[in-house]
Amino acid sequence: NAGVTQTPKFQVLKTGQSMTLQCAQDMNHEYMSWYRQDPGMGLRLIHYSVGAGITDQGEVPNGYNVSRSTTEDFPLRLLSAAPSQTSVYFCASSYRQATYEQYFGPGTRLTVT
């Protein structure tokens, strides 16, 4: 099993550009989530999903969209990139009954200039 995969690993965007960060898992997990990791602030939840077709906002959802059309995939879309979105983004998944044990992807390092 590949676990949780994320693409790309690195990305540089100009302010105003849009892009999609890809996340996929092959563990048949119902729960998937996106976090951003910033120095001194830990991991903050952006959006999460408890199953296909169901998404909800986390702590810092502004500027990001998600959708969950399949169990396996949970892409994160940046609509109009801003320098404040420069961060490391992590996707994670877990069983719905055990969201405390999340399996993390390797992360995407995004820089917005």
Partner 1 sequence: AQRVTQPEKLLSVFKGAPVELKCNYSYSGSPELFWYVQYSRQRLQLLLRHISRESIKGFTADLNKGETSFHLKKPFAQEEDSAMYYCAFTSGSARQLTFGSGTQLTVLP
Site stretch for partner 1 (CB under 8 A), options 13-21, 31-39, 62-70, 73-81: 31-39
The set of residues, in sequence order, having a beta carbon less than 8 Å from that of 23 and lying 6+ positions away, is 4, 5, 6, 32, 34, 73, 74, 75, 76, 91, 105
C-alpha Rg value of the chain to the nearest Å: 13
Select 18 or 84, whichever has its Cβ closest to partner 1: 84
93 binds partner 1 (CB under 8 A): no
CA distance 1 to 42: 28
Query: 50-89: which residues touch partner 1 (CB under 8 A)?
Result: 50, 58-59
Residues near partner 1 (CB under 8 A) are 4, 31, 33, 35, 40-45, 48, 50, 58-59, 90, 92, 96, 99-107
